[in-house]
Amino acid sequence: MRRRDFLKTAGLAATTAAVAAPAIAQSSPEIKWRMPCSWPKSLDTLYGAAEVMAKQVAEATDNKFQIQVFAAGEIVPGLAIVDAVQNGTVEIGHTASYYYFGKDPTFAFGTSVAFGPNARLNQGWYMLGGGKEVLDEFYKKYNLVSMLAGNTGCQMGGWFRKPINSVDDLKGLKMRIGGFPGRVLQKLGAVPQQIAGGDIYPALEKGTIDAAEWVGPYDDEKLGFYKVAPYYYSPGWWEGGSMLFAFVNLDKWNALPKHYRAVLENAAAYANQWCLAKYDAANPAALRRLLAGGTKLNVFSPQIMDACYKAAMELHAEISKDNASFKKVNESLMQFTKNGYQWFSVAELNYDVFLTNHNRG
């Protein structure tokens, strides 16, 4: 190459670099968000999922996009995350959607509804089965955008001070149960209580409530329920595969550079998988410890399960008559669930039953 041509090329490259560098800097602004959670720090899987998400965002943007995580009650009450995000008090929050069913029963969907699908089918519906579209159409009314940021898998049925042998034993039972499924138990005579995670133990200890559910062995052990309620039941038919959400203020979302949106979504997806993996890794050992300590493990009777299923389907049908959003989301989820379980019964179920029987003890 001739010297003159080389100098012209080098000059052009330098000019291009000079133009490109400021453009890149301008498209990657320094942003700091706050993310309150519905969880205390002691619950290192639920709260940990929010921390994992924030860490991923910071690392992917060379710390230009930072999200500060807050435990329940530090800046926002644990059950007021949606309100704070909706009104712009904070930019993003980590929570369970069903905590806000009092605003509209449609909020029950997303995290879980009674006798909803397991973790894989719930996520399959949200990601590729039209779930995100119908949910975000609803959430838009509240100035929210949703993204998956955790999953608990199938939860346990809770801790009881006395055995629950029949449907009659549910009558008058004061039970802490999160979100919408409490209305199912209410149809069977129970008295549901919505109490944030950190406040459950004292209520159970004082006898203010007779029973409580949270997640599963790993978290329940941390919260100490086994000390005051020895009867541990399965399954948590109200939470077959509960999804947790990072709700983002819609205006703040729209203002983000597109590549920051992608970073946020990818970070949430990683936290989502991390959370489920953490529970799958931690729950078995925790359950063994609880049983060794005297916890009495029980399974809800077929009578109770059938009665709860009937009550749940009746409740969903009743609400669907007057709530178009609820009906639309319910029909979308139930159709996907039906198709999913028809397939699961062919391969997944048979495989799981076989290996479960060969790995007992």
Is the CB of residue 295 less than 8 Å from the CB of residue 232? yes
The strand ranges marked E within 168-269 are 174-176, 191-193, 211-212, 231-234, 243-249
Query: What pLDDT does residue 180 have?
Result: 81
Label residues 179-203 b or e (16+ Cβ within 10 Å = b): bbbbbbbbbbebebbebbbbebbeb
Query: What pLDDT does residue 262 have?
Result: 98
SS3 160: strand
Structure tokens of 11?
Answer: 């000059």
State how far the Cα of 35 lies from the Cα of 67, in Å rounded to an integer.
6
Does the pLDDT of residue 361 top 90, yes or no?
no
Query: What pLDDT does residue 178 have?
Result: 72
CA–CA distances in Å: residue 192 to residues 103, 177, 183: 17, 6, 7
Does the pLDDT of residue 19 top 50, yes or no?
no
For a pLDDT cut of 70, what percent of the chain falls above it? 93
What is the arithmetic mean of pLDDT over 146-160?
Answer: 97
Identify the residue with better confidence: 4 or 296. 296
The label of the residue with tokens 């076989």 reads: 354
Structure tokens of 220?
Answer: 């329940």
Helix or strand run (H / E) with residue 151: strand 144-151
State how far the Cα of 331 lies from the Cα of 143, in Å rounded to an integer.
24
Structure tokens of 193?
Answer: 């209580």
Is the CB of residue 129 less than 8 Å from the CB of residue 183? no
State how far the Cα of 178 lies from the Cα of 21, in Å rounded to an integer.
50
Q: What is the pLDDT of residues 65-117, one digit of tens each?
A: 999 999 999 999 999 999 999 999 999 999 999 999 999 999 999 999 999 99
Q: What is the pLDDT of residues 309-334, one digit of tens each?
A: 999 999 999 999 999 999 999 999 99
Does the pLDDT of residue 14 top 90, yes or no?
no
When pLDDT is cut at 50, 70 and 90, the band that residue 21 belongs to is very low
Does the pLDDT of residue 264 top 60, yes or no?
yes
Query: What pLDDT does residue 153 have?
Result: 97
Does the pLDDT of residue 17 top 90, yes or no?
no
When pLDDT is cut at 50, 70 and 90, the band that residue 195 belongs to is confident
When pLDDT is cut at 50, 70 and 90, the band that residue 5 belongs to is low
Does the pLDDT of residue 18 top 50, yes or no?
no
CA–CA distances in Å: residue 69 to residues 40, 54, 142: 11, 7, 22
Is the CB of residue 151 less than 8 Å from the CB of residue 123? yes
Angle at CA 195, nearest 5°, toward 164 and 165? 5
C-alpha R_g of the chain: 24
Is the CB of residue 240 less than 8 Å from the CB of residue 116? yes
Does the pLDDT of residue 15 top 60, yes or no?
no
How high is the mean pLDDT of the chain?
93
In degrees and rounded to multiples of 5, residue 289 shows phi and psi of -65, -40
Does the pLDDT of residue 222 top 70, yes or no?
yes
Does the pLDDT of residue 27 top 80, yes or no?
no
Contacts (Cβ under 8 Å, ≥6 apart) of 244:
46, 49, 94, 95, 96, 111, 148, 149, 150, 151, 152, 272, 275
> C-alpha 361: how far from its chain's center?
31
Structure tokens of 358?
Answer: 């060969």
Is the CB of residue 34 less than 8 Å from the CB of residue 91? yes
Report the 10 Å Cβ neighbour count for 166: 12
Helix or strand run (H / E) with residue 86: helix 81-86
Does the pLDDT of residue 7 top 80, yes or no?
no
Does the pLDDT of residue 23 top 80, yes or no?
no
Instruction: Render 268-328 in DSSP notation, one character per residue.
Output: HHHHHHHHHHHHHHHHHHHHHHHHHTT-EEEE--HHHHHHHHHHHHHHHHHHHHH-HHHHH
Structure tokens of 257?
Answer: 């550079």
Cis peptide before 235 (omega within 30 of 0): yes
Domain 158-239+283-323: give its CATH architecture. Answer: 3-Layer(aba) Sandwich (3.40)
